[in-house]
Structure 1
Amino acid sequence: MNKIITEKLVSRTLQKLKKIDDLHPYVDKIVKNLILNNYNFYFVGGAIRDILISIFNNTKLKEIQDVDIVIETNEYNKIVELVQKIFHTEKDIHIKTYPQFLTISIFVSFKNKTKRIDLSIPRKEEYPYPASLPKVSIGTIFDDVYRRDFSVNAICLRYDHENKIYSFYDPFGGIKDIIEKKIKVLHDKSFIDDPTRILRGIRFAALLKFKFDQNTEKLIKEAIKKNIFACLSETRLNSEFVNILKKGKNLKQLVKLLKKYKVDDCYKSIKELIGKFLIYANKIELKNIKDNKIKFYLRLLFLLEKTFGKVGILETNKLGVFKECLVKLNITKEERQPIYDAVKIFAYGQTRKLPKWIKIYSRVFKRKIIKLPIKPAKLISLGVPKQKIKDVVLYVLSHKLKHLSNKKIKSITLKL
């Protein structure tokens, strides 16, 4: 790529960075302070990848959820102090530091979502044994890029404080791979060090409509032949499946790749759920749903109901069944709550003040919420035994009874 083309590409990338509408004001504050303090820094990761894809394909930039910036310094604590100084008056900001990983996460709260800016200093990773969590230490910018999964995610847009210019730092040819639509690992031990990269690679290949390069495909097959997934904890493995539900697109192709590399066989603790995903992937593509959070809950509840059965009238026992599966999926307590709320809505026939995603679920999957003709609390107050409550409600529904006197309820209870 000649100098003029590269300069134009840098310019267009910077323009697109400014179009990350909601995050841009916060990124801009960080950048101005880094420049003021004479730091070299690098934009890297998914944001740069997606910007370049939108430029080469001449398409609208999709919504960016997070921005990664690596700051060229060994002084982690100074960066923490700088970030705290920049945002100390911001109410919508939550800063979390991870000194063991040499990173800082800045969570920005908007009306219906939270986005993230990740700052770090250059890191080096070493894996003591296959599929282990890495030991992180201070490194060079090359070390930091080398620790990433694929070349398309290892492209850096560098600011040089001495010359006051931006340029690309792309030691693994990620820009070329974007143009050629390739997914390529950075070194031959990549999948041995971290087998979850196979699952991420499959997700990226489907999402971006890219193909694995020849060497990467060979390395995937070799790693699977060595049964590398057996070295992974169920927690890490299942978390990658949750990422598919949250971020996955082009699910039909994704399922083909899972089957091609026999990755679906590695899921033991959630085997039934994975089986339903393989069958219904096309149905839960949900292309018209733009909100990823809503899409995630639609997909998740649909698969839970397909795996364990629909939530019926007064079937609150599904709470325990669903919870067991959600815990295996390593879904946080906070993220599980909307599913628990949905169980109660369908079990108790709640029809008022429904969450938006439940309304969509009901419409998309033709899942009617049946309003209860009488509240269980009323039956209990009339002395109906708890074990008979469901039978009474179902009897009233099946016979379409509307006028229910206390005498009539007692009569139905005796019949049952």
Structure 2
Amino acid sequence: MNDISAHINQSILKIPFDLFNIISNYIKLHSNVKVAIVGGYIRDLLINKIHKKTFFSPIDIDIVTEGSSVDLAKFIKKNISNVELCLIKEFEIYDTVELNINNLKIDIASARKETYEAPGLNPIVQHTSIEEDLKRRDFSINAIAFEFSKQEIYDYFDGIKHIKEKELHLLHENSIQDDPSRIIRCARYASRLGFKISKKSLKQSQDTVKRWPWAVINDDTKSRFPPGISIRIRMELSEIYKYDNLAKIVSLLNDWEVISILNKNISIDNKFLRGLKWIKKLKGNYILYLLKNSENFELTCQRFFINSKEKKILKDYLNISNQLENEKEKFLYLTPSNWTEFIETKNLDEETVKLLICNGGEFWKSFFRWLFIYKFIKSKKSGASLKSEGWHPGQEMGNEIKRLRYIEIDKIKRN
């Protein structure tokens, strides 16, 4: 343990922009108020030390204080030197501050206790000690802190032991009920860190998901989901989409029998996973891909805050998919220009086309060619040149430009 403590101490001293000394000075000037680094930064330092696994430079650093987060942020900004940019963004609801120093993001929060009145709702917040603050964290490996004044490691939940064992442990028995998005975060850590979920945490996750949809707000006609659940799930998926292997994480959720946190109608097979990889390559809407086979369209859209444009994309995808299935013979012999006319006449959004590509099947290549080839091909004659030949502006000239464009499209060889 002494070896680990020494590693953490040495690493904290090397935090950029002389932050260790700036924060230490702040503590002395504010009656030795407690300040600690907590969360992913400490976790990754420990994993590096214990498992010799190297991570990229930290995306952010989480700091918690028993004093004012705003005062600490302003003190850092005032005393930092040799930086091009130092921005402060305040979030009053949770008394947190985001500090951006030359693209290093530092989240500063006043120590708080969170109470959930009902599953999935946003918590009620009270100021508390750092020790109490650590109890609200998601996993034991994220509830390890380094306190500045005594240069002491806080590890009340055996986080270091669990890092050594490469296990993910939820902190308490209502963890998933309080914030169901933690299931997705757990899969992200399992994928990224190479850890496994503990048996107790897996059982809690499975038992909570079986009680889905956590319908805590009711009226006479329907139950709806607490909005906080959907927002947090979308935020987790956004992080995964940017930095992780979404296909691997969805597979883990399926293996853990908690896939209904996203969509109970997802069928995990090679075709679906291949489509997940393609939606990322195409920079498509991954949320719509995950929801495309939902049984209850309207409820799913409500649950995930799908806007009107996204709803149209999904509806068009479903309609075209059904048409391709029911009229397969008709589509087998379409020329490139026929496909172009079909797609453009229906005014399909590119996101709909991407979903059709990622869904695979017999016709995905035709949609792919339209997206990357056909739609960019133009008629060799412009409106101006046709006008010089005696054509009059209007529908007939428009049809002629379209006909000439289709001729050029049909010259493309299909591989």
* Category of TM-score, reference length = shorter chain: 0.5 to 0.7
In structure 2, the residue matched to 1:171 is 156
Please say if residues 83 and 101 of structure 2, whose CA atoms lie closer than 8 Å, have aligned partners that are also in contact.
no
AA matched with 1:225: K
Do the aligned partners of residues 44 and 191 (structure 1) sit closer, same or farther apart at CA in structure 2, a change above 3 Å counting?
same
Instruction: Indicate which of 182, 199, 203 corresponds to 1:218.
Output: 203
What amino acid is the match of 2:171? L
Counting matched residue pairs gives: 330
Q: C-alpha offsets along residues 276-331 of structure 1, whole Å, 9 cap, x if unaligned?
A: 99745468679xxxxxxxxx96364385898999xxxxxxxxxx999527999xxx
Relative to the length of structure 1, the TM-score reads 0.65
Q: What residue is the counterpart of 1:121 in the other structure?
A: 110
User: What runs of 5+ residues in structure 1 fail to find an aligned partner?
Assistant: 1-5, 287-295, 310-319, 329-341, 348-364, 402-416
TM-score (norm 2): 0.65
Q: Is structure 2 residue 180 aligned with structure 1 residue 195?
A: yes
Counterpart of 1:405 in structure 2 is none
Does the 8 Å contact 2:246/2:276 carry over to 1? no
- RMSD over aligned Cα atoms: 4.3
Deviation at 1:135, TM superposition (A): 1.2
Q: Give the match for residue 48 of structure 1.
A: 42
Corresponding position: 1:79 with 2:72: yes
- Say which of 189, 194, 204 aligns to 1:204: 189
Taking the aligned partners of 2:403 and 2:291, their CA distance within structure 1 comes to: 21
Instruction: Establish whether residue 151 from structure 1 lines up as the match of residue 140 from structure 2.
Output: yes
| Equivalence for 2:26 | 34
1:59 and 2:53 correspond: yes
Deviations 1:364-416 (A, max 9, x none): x9995569454799448854745765554232132369xxxxxxxxxxxxxxx
1:154-182, CA deviations, whole angstroms, 9 ceiling, x for partnerless residues? 0001122xxxx412101011000000111
2:235 is aligned to 239
Task: Identify which of 101, 104, 121 aligns with 1:132.
Answer: 121
Kindly provide the CA deviation profile for residues 36-60 of structure 1, in whole angstroms up to 9, marking residues without a partner as x: 5344321101111111111111132
What is the rounded CA distance, in whole Å, between the counterparts of 2:184 and 2:159 in structure 1? 19
Structure 1 residue 84 displacement after superposition: 4.5
Q: Percent identity between the aligned chains? A: 27
Partner-residue secondary structure (3-state), 1:60 = coil
Q: Which secondary structure state, in structure 2, belongs to the residue aligned with residue 100 of structure 1?
A: helix
Alignment of 1:390-405 (within 5 A): 391-399=403-411
Kept in 2, the 8 Å contact 1:156–1:169? The answer is yes
Based on CA coordinates, which of the two structures has the bigger radius of gyration?
2
Cα offset for 1:214? 2.2
- The Cα offsets for residues 67-93 of structure 1, whole Å up to 9 and x where unpaired, read as 0011232x4453354245346995422
Distance in 1, Cα, partners of 2:139 & 2:89: 26
Higher mean alpha-carbon deviation, 57-66 vs 391-400, is at 391-400
1:105 aligns with 2:102: no
**What are the Cα deviations for residues 111-132 of structure 1, in whole angstroms up to 9, with x where unaligned?**
xxx4410111211111111111
Contact 1:284–1:299 (CA<8 Å) still a contact in 2?
Answer: no
Q: Give the partner amino acid of 2:409.
A: L
Q: Which moved more, 1:80-89 or 1:146-155?
A: 80-89
Letter in 2 for 1:141: I
Give the secondary-structure state (helix, strand or coil) at the position aligned to 1:399.
coil
Q: In 2, Cα distance between the equivalents of 1:18 and 1:192? A: 38
SS of the residue 1:144 aligns to:
helix
Question: Does structure 2 conserve the Cα–Cα contact (< 8 Å) formed by 1:181 and 1:210?
Answer: yes
